[in-house]
Structure 1
Amino acid sequence: MNLIPEPRLRGRAAPLAVLLLLTACDGGNAASVVPAPSLPAVKLAETGGFSATIRRTSHGIPHVLAGDYASLGYGYGYAFAQDNLCELAEVVVTVSAERSRYFGSDAAYPATLGGTINNLKSDFFYQSINDAGTVEALVAQQPPRGPSEEMRELVRGYTAGFNRYLRETGVDGLPDPRCRGAAWVRPLTEKDLYRRYYQLGLLASSTAFLANIADAQPPGPLPDGALPVPVTLPDVLPAGTIPTPKDLGLGSNAIGLGREGTRNGRGMVLGNPHFPWQGSERFYQVHLTLPGQLDVSGASLLGVPVVLIGHNAHLAWSHTVSTGFRFTPYELKLVPGSPTSYVYDGQIQQMTPRPTTVLARKADGTLEPRSHTFYWTRFGPMFEFPDGYMTWNQLTGYAFRDVNATNFRILDQYLAMNRASSVDELRQAQDYWQGIPWVNTVAADDQGRAFYADSAIVPHVTDEKVARCVVSPVALLVYQSAHLPVLDGTRSDCEWGSDADAVLPGMFGPGRMPHLVRADYVENSNDSYWLSNPAQPLTGYDRIIGDENTARSLRTRLGLKLVQGRLAGTDGLEGQRFTLEQLQTVMFNNRNHSGELLRDSAVALCKRNPFIVAEDGRLVDVRAACPVLEKWNLRGDLDSAGGLLWRLFMIRLVPVTGGPYLVPFLPTDPVNTPRGLNTLHPQVVQALGGAVQVMRDRGLPLDVALGTVQHVPRNEARIPYHGCYDAEGCFNQMGGLLLPDYTYRPSLGTSFVMAVSFTDAGPVGRSLLAYSQSSNPASPYFADQTWMFSRKQWVDMRFTEADIASDPELSVTMLQE
């Protein structure tokens, strides 16, 4: 099957100033890229015409059938609006820079990567993008830089389908009480969706530092006779001061099994993204069919008209957030007395002020204009991060350069992946479009080949360039702390480089990025590419992409052990190699790897030290904790008594100076080291006392079961959930918010789960959308799969026509416009 559409000119010109800006950021002309195969003619809709059939099966999963791309998008947009209109409408308010107008300038909304974002700062950020016409300029480009004709048709149809549903119900008749009658709900435009896709591309870069960009302002003048004071730096930055990509919050697990890893000798995939349970990055499950062109089932993020994680008849894939940086700061030498002037190659350059204005609602309901000015350099906007280190003062300043700022290839990247019929075609699609913004890919095909690639976009900063261009005390300190290159902004030879096979200058080409094809397995749980399969470590890549020969997380190590134990037949399940049912069992076995490694030593510590001085100086009687930990089942199940006590202990071990382990990490044994609890370390002893004391302070029994303290509110119900924190080393990661009643509610964690096995008769898939298909509390699909998640149950991914027709809850909607 051919995957790549031939470029088509749209006949629309981008704003000249924006195209000049994009060219300047590229650092030169476009490099040569992987040639695109020719594509047979595809059917596009007649202008304005849409016709789609939506067949919903159990749990509200829509199977959209259409005869052209626009109609396929039309059916998808309509079905999505039925379930989650309010969520996407609020996203549109955000990217339209209207949150202050409707929700107030002092309010905030949840950030995807943790914390909150102030409405006014958010509006300034997005309005500056809109003022510049950035998205319009990117969309106007021809493929592969801009969207293909097929993608434009999908977006056109999705917009029309969403709007048809809104037109039929009316804002005042919406079934979701959260936005019924709201002034901020309006029909979509295609521009709204394109702005949404641009937002998604910046998720692990600019939007993660939105407030730091919005807060950057020139320093005021010095008093007469005063001299600039250099920043005082410590010898080492505290851990976490500079967040690494893994610290940004999002995570995932994925396993790809080849012919030597499965019972039937064909491929198998487990996908387990750990994404937010609330807000704009929820998944939505769908099956899209355009006969002869596309037949794909899986899940998308809100508003995206293609499948991001899923399978077709021959290929299944998932993603995990990768470790590469998507940005680099540039350190600028400022002109004395002129903090908006900087030196570049011996010449003085002026920053460009970009004023922007938004409307904000006052307490009396009236609107007032609020203004802000961003300052742009040749690299990008000024920013300040972290507080006290990369600051804008009279001597230096820092600019933020984002490699995804010119990436609008993400949509066609996934359309090509949706159509790929093998691991080879998947890699071909990624090498051509180069649009993956911030994730690894794990896949397997029906021929029994497993595939791993970190094909995400990374700034072209080689280790050699780091050695030449990370030179100042601040830059060296930041690089030592997080391996984030803060490059010298005074020299053109410190600009990002280029590869001949890269679709744009400034990024690594596919030939410089890690990939692996295996007959047994590949696995990733958000560590770098290095140990995707311990039998074939990937090495020799530039450090900005990821680390090598370093300790893996407990979750990564458990993921590898889960696969290795099944292939060897030592995990207590029947036989060797995987069946689909065994892959499902492994997903939710809730093994707690930290407990497996350290619990017995912790019990011995407890028995030797009946009274412990905790971190706060209080003397704690821990004798009652010893039998609780000894009887704990080493899992994160609903009935795991002692699991919470262990969690509180492990959280306190994370910052232990020098680490809590007896046996250090050994590159020759990366799956099994580090291990052993250093029970003589005073912080380890204090951690046990602190864990016991905090539970007593909360009034919780030491042996409280996880299902008692972990719950999901769904209308009047409190649904218990299993899983545990990342620090504990659980594959089924469920990060929770601590509530005032000392219970937990899920925030980031297991979201869309997919297990797919290829058989002689085609793919067989099981899935689960842990927070359910609809965010509308009045929907029948608001809590049904959440209850299933609590019970470790799965949903059949009905793929064939016979599967769909046989569903006992099948309903059919035919749309024509």
Structure 2
Amino acid sequence: MRNRLRRLILFTTALLSVAATASPAPADAGNGGGRAERASGGGLSATIRYTEYGIPHIVAKDYANLGFGTGWAQANDQVCTLADGHVTLRGERSKYFGAEGKPDQSLSSASTNLSSDLFFRGVRDAKTVEKLLDVPSPVGPGREVRELMRGYAAGYNAWLEQNRITDPACKGEPWVRPITSLDVARRGFALAVLGGQGRAADAITSARPPTATDAEAPAPDRDQVADAARELFSAQNADMGSNAVAFAGSTTANGRGLLLGNPHYPWHGGRRFWQSQQTIPGELNVAGGSLLGATSVSIGHNASMAWSHTVATGVTMNLHELKLDLSDPTTYLVDGERHRMKKRTVTVGTKGGEQVTRTQWWTRYGPVVTSLGAGLPLPWTKSTAYALNDPNAVNMRLSDAALALNKARSTKEVKAALARTQGHPWVNTIAADKAGHTLFTQSQVLPRITDELAQRCSTALGEATYPSAGLAVLDGSRGECALGKDPDALQPGVFGPSRMPTLEDAPYAENSNDSAWLTNLDRPLTGYERVFGTVDTQRSMRTRGAIEDVAAMADRGRLRVRDLQKQQFANRVPAGDRTAEDVARACAELPGGRATGSDGKAVDVRAACEAIGAWDRTMNPESRGALLFDRFWRKLVAGVPAAELWKVPFSAADPVRTPHTLDTAHPGFARALADAVAELDRAGIAPDAPLSAHQTVERAGDRIPVHGGTESLGVWNKLEPTWDPAAGYTEAAHGSSYIQAVGFNGSRCPVARTLLTYSQSENAKSPHLSDQTRLYAQKRWVTSRFCERDILASPELKVVKVRQR
């Protein structure tokens, strides 16, 4: 009792100190960008209470002070990663790390530092973000978000001023510098355009008009481009996806909603989550995971509502095919009128002191691009060029959308908040609330490509790419092919909220990065435009397994938070359930127990047959044969065309169970099996080795076994590990990240279990480098300390008052 009283006195004293010392915001604080870049100020302060695993609970009197505490606390855990991101946004990677070095692609898809610098320096030179900040709300960001950004920059800078960096990744480095609120806004802009201009950074910065002596390039092959586009947009969700499910009160033990959020994000670099609670007494109280550099909680819960996001299938860009003036390839025609492209000349410095200058070319539709990645060429000829339209390049509302969800108290308010802010560029939202309601909505900022417009205005290339991949290629020479405006849209050229695929109050609402169609198997969503995603098409193995699991859970009913926890770490392998028995049988029937690999050598696979037959069909630490099946399956799906993999093809009438029955007579079957066995043998791994022995991550010299499985296996608890030919899986590239299982009861304290799989910090000297990673290895969770009594009861409670000097 005495200890609890002491903690209460500490907290009360800290709050009184915040109220007494925090200065009011300057009168012009809401003006945003377009002004000189200088370190933010204002005498800001906050109270940070740390509980187990280094989770900060930040308390402040207003949004500027809350931003201050958030910026401070993020810098305390991740200063090097954050600083590296600001080097990217300043366009200075080549200067410090070399032009040919590779960024971590957390802020764009640029393949080299030089390409990244040219792209982001171009954004700065054009004052793109400053102009967007000068747009008043609701089209531009609101006052509260601007205050958060101002405070965040001040908090980050105050931490730099008052602390010594211990992380070897950036200790003593000149590129760690103070930031401004404009820098915080630039990071938000970069996240918004990740699926559009950011994806095309290489193409924007390398586009060159043809010269008079250049030979005319052939038109792009329609089928090749369509296949590449389909691969490009499916890979988006395979590499960085998520699962989330909301259960309605009709399925739960107490009639209140439940939510399980399982985003799959990178384990390293600038797109990591960071966990916190943010509180402004009487105004805001929310806990969850924030993307690094974000001023608000990105995925989380408050006292009466929980939400998560999944990467959506909506295609956030489109192309306009330009008809060029044959006398000048930098002039294009619209309704017969000539329009000169705008030159954007960008210069960046390199590590050797060289100055590199490139020219970008911009049109009324957006920048000219000459590709969208490998296999998707868009040649700039003397008669034709392609311009990229990215509606999120004029969207600075991502932070407003996040804050609005932080404050929403029900799924009804979530839907209204998304309709009001219209700021999310590339995610779905899944939510459940205390009253037992559920929500799924694909509320994205998408180009307003209706099927009618695509049919009327697609070029020959677009006729191939739009049906197959949702990528529209419109005739840019016709004014009638403009995207138009929905009456309820905040900006022209995008869909309004009434057009978004939405499902309310279903017994369950689940998404695993496929389209909205099978959010609930019994209530399929249809009638949306192709640009949002597909209907009546084959689902991923992960979606199929997820629907099986959550539908069975809903039917069973009386669900509790512990049922969500069990689902998260069940590690069931849907691909194994469907095929392992057939694989083991066909393997055992191979003549002489041998199979021929891709190198033409025969391999003894008898031990492998036994291991797969005995495998428990999970990716649990103790699972024997799991690693063998994983390596076999990866090789099989990569080496056998999808149409030839199964004997029974996909049927829209039975979308979860089809396709099925593996074609083990296909020559790729025995080849994949032989290659997998040989690969494990070279690494010194037995076919029946437990997964925990060879799927690990290293932290501070210790090997930590991690469970979960890859995308193609369909495992809910996704993990994409890095293969070392000599040792097996030795690191995680991406996968389950900030996980939350949330329910509600009669009190104001939600029942929440969370886990940040890779822990709070990448600093090798931090006590929070791997503490939650070790919990993950043991399938243990963190009990959320949301209410005051729980925070004050923490045995590791540490109260820190932070302020500007």
Does the alignment reach a TM-score above 0.5? yes
Distance change in 2, residues 1:663/1:89 (3 Å)? same
What's the counterpart of residue 380 of structure 2? 392
Q: Do residues 603 (structure 1) and 587 (structure 2) align?
A: no
2:182 is the counterpart of 1:191 = yes
Please give the residue correspondences for 1:265-280 in structure 2 after superposition, counting only pairs within 5 Å: 265-280=255-270
Listed as ranges, the matches of 1:543-582 within 5 Å are 543-569=530-556, 576-582=557-563
The superposition leaves residues 86-109 of structure 1 with CA deviations (integer Å, 9 ceiling, x where unpaired) of 111111110111111111212112
Contact 2:148 2:295 in 1 (8 A): yes
Match of 2:438 in 1: 450
Is structure 2 residue 752 aligned with structure 1 residue 769? no
Judge conservation of contact 2:220–2:379 (CA < 8 Å) in 1: no
Q: Determine the structure 1 residue equivalent to 2:355.
A: 369
Contact 2:110 / 2:198 at 8 angstroms: preserved in 1? no
User: How far is the alpha carbon of 1:701 from its aligned partner?
Assistant: 1.8
C-alpha contact (below 8 Å) 2:109/2:199 kept by paired residues: no
Report 1:166-315 matches (<5 A): 166-169=160-163, 173-222=164-213, 228-231=216-219, 233=221, 235=223, 239-240=227-228, 242-248=230-236, 249-315=239-305
Q: d(CA) in 1 for partners of 2:492 and 2:728?
A: 50
Which residue identity is paired with 1:646? F
Percent pairwise identity = 41
Structure 1 counterpart SS, 2:199: helix
Q: Out of 598, 604, 607, which is 1:624 matched to?
A: 607
Q: How does 1:713-732 map to 2 (within 5 A)?
A: 713-732=698-717
Matches within 5 A, 1:300-449: 300-362=290-352, 367-385=353-371, 386-387=374-375, 389-449=377-437
Higher helix fraction (1 or 2): 2
Task: Give 3-state SS (helix, strand or coil) of 1:654's partner.
Answer: helix
Say which SS state the counterpart of residue 558 (structure 1) adopts: helix
Assess, with a 3 A threshold, how the Cα gap between structure 1 residues 720 and 13 changes in structure 2: closer, same or farther. closer
Gaps of 5+ in 2: 1-26
TM-aligned CA deviation for residue 116 of structure 1: 6.7
Post-superposition offset of 1:146: 1.5
Measured in 2, the distance between the counterparts of 1:662 and 1:59 equals 50
Per the alignment, residue 662 of structure 2 pairs with 677
**Which residue of structure 1 aligns with residue 12 of structure 2?**
none
Matches within 5 A, 1:40-59: 48-59=42-53
**Pairwise CA distance, 1:76:** 1.4
State the match for 1:164 in structure 2: 158
- Measure, in 2, the Cα distance between the counterparts of 1:598 and 1:388: 34
For 2:702 and 2:494, how far apart are their aligned partners in 1? 49
- Cα distance in structure 1, aligned partners of 2:476 and 2:456: 12
> Of residues 510, 517, 523 in structure 1, which corresponds to 2:497?
510
Give 1:792's aligned residue: 779
**What is the CA–CA distance in structure 2 between the aligned matches of 1:238 and 1:644, rounded to whole Å?**
34
Matched, 1:86 2:73: no
Q: CA deviation at 1:113?
A: 9.2
Give me the whole-angstrom Cα distance separating, in 2, the residues matched to 1:482 and 1:11.
Answer: 41
**Hey, what's the Cα distance between the residues in 2 that align with 1:752 and 1:232?**
42
Aligned 8 A contact 1:773 1:782 in 2: yes
Counterpart CA distance in 1 for 2:56 and 2:279 is 11
- Structure 1 residue matching 2:364: 3-state secondary structure: coil
1:760 paired to 2:741: no
Matched to 1:676, the amino acid is T
CA spacing shift, 1:47–1:393, aligned 2, 3 Å: closer
Cα distance per residue 1:409-432 (max 9 Å; x no partner): 111111111111111111110001
State how far apart, in whole Å, the 1-side matches of 2:450 and 2:286 are.
Answer: 37
What amino acid does structure 1 have at the position aligned with 2:178?
Answer: P
CA contact (8 A) 2:247 2:554 kept: no
Q: Give the secondary-structure state (helix, strand or coil) at the position aligned to 2:262.
A: strand
> What is the identity, as a one-letter code, of the residue corresponding to 1:434?
Q
Measure how far apart 1:379 and its partner are: 0.8
1:616-655: CA deviation from partner (whole Å, max 9, x where unpaired): 4333332221101001110011122211221122223324
Corresponding residue for residue 708 of structure 1: 693
Q: Who is 2:122 aligned against?
A: 128
Q: Which secondary structure does the structure 1 equivalent of 2:261 belong to? A: strand
Give, in whole Å, the separation in 1 of the partners of 2:429 and 2:636. 32
Q: How many residues align structurally?
A: 764
The answer to which of 593-602 and 113-122 deviates more is 113-122
Give a deviation string over 1:361-399, Cα, whole Å, max 9, x none. Answer: 10xxxx232111001111111112245731112232111
Q: What's 1:501 paired with? A: 488
Q: CA deviation at 1:244?
A: 4.1
Matched residue of 1:405: which SS?
Answer: helix
Query: Offset at 1:469?
Result: 1.7
Distance 1:155 1:94 in 2: 18
Cα distance in 1 between the residues matched to 2:109 and 2:401: 30
Q: CA deviation at 1:11?
A: 8.4
For residues 439 and 199 of structure 2, the distance between their equivalents in structure 1, rounded to whole angstroms, comes to 29
| Residues 496 and 63 of structure 1: CA distance in aligned 2, closer, same or farther (over 3 Å) | same
For residue 115 of structure 1, report the CA deviation from its aligned partner: 7.8
SS, match of residue 759 in structure 1 = coil
Change (3 A) 1:301 1:420: same
Distance in 2 separating the partners of 1:346 and 1:9: 46
**3-state SS, counterpart of residue 108 of structure 1:** coil
Q: Partners of 2:456 and 2:586 in 1: how far apart?
A: 49
| SS of 2:65 mapped into structure 1 | helix
Q: Equivalents in 2 of 1:228, 1:622: separation in Å?
A: 54
Code of the aligned partner of 1:649: F
1:676-697 Cα shifts (integer Å, max 9, x gaps)? 1122223334332332233234
CA gap 1:697/1:740 in 2 versus in 1, 3 angstroms: closer
Mapped partners of 2:243, 2:125: distance in 1 = 39
1: distance between equivalents of 2:106 and 2:588? Answer: 42
CA distance in structure 2 between the aligned counterparts of 1:412 and 1:493, rounded to whole angstroms:
33
**Secondary structure in structure 2 of the residue aligned to 1:230:** coil
Aligned with 2:466 (options 464, 471, 479): 479
* CA apart distance, 1:253: 0.4
Segment of structure 1 superposing worse, 205-214 or 694-703: 694-703
Residue deviations 1:584-616, cap 9 Å, x none? 011001000000011111111111213333334
Q: Secondary structure at the match of 2:87?
A: helix
The residue that corresponds to 2:6 in the other structure is none
Match of 1:3 in 2: none
Q: Does 1:783 align with 2:770?
A: yes
Would the alpha carbon gap of residues 388 and 755 (structure 1) be closer, same or farther in structure 2, given more than 3 Å must change?
A: closer
Match of 2:92 in 1: 98
Provide structure 1 residue ranges, at least 5 long, that are not aligned to the other structure.
Answer: 1-7, 17-45, 570-575
Give the equivalent residue in structure 2 for 1:69. Answer: 63
Q: How far apart in 1 are the matches of 2:475 and 2:161?
A: 54
Residues 10 and 140 in structure 1, CA contact (< 8 A), matched pair in contact too: no
Aligned residue for 1:526, secondary structure, equals coil
Is contact 2:103-2:116 (8 Å) kept?
A: no
CA distance in 1, matches of 2:726, 2:665: 34
The 2-side partners of 1:105 and 1:234 are apart by 34
Name the TM-score, length of structure 1 as normaliser: 0.90
Q: Is the 8 A contact 1:221 1:337 kept in 2?
A: no
Question: Cα RMSD (Å) of the superposition?
Answer: 2.1
Structure 1 residue 649 corresponds to structure 2 residue 632 = yes
Over 3 Å counting, the alpha-carbon distance change for 1:454 and 1:238 in structure 2 is: closer
Residue 741 of structure 2 is aligned to residue 750 of structure 1 = no
Q: CA deviation at 1:232?
A: 6.1
The aligned amino acid for 1:518 is D
Residue pair 2:226, 2:464 contacting (<8 A) in 1 also: no
Partner of 1:4: none
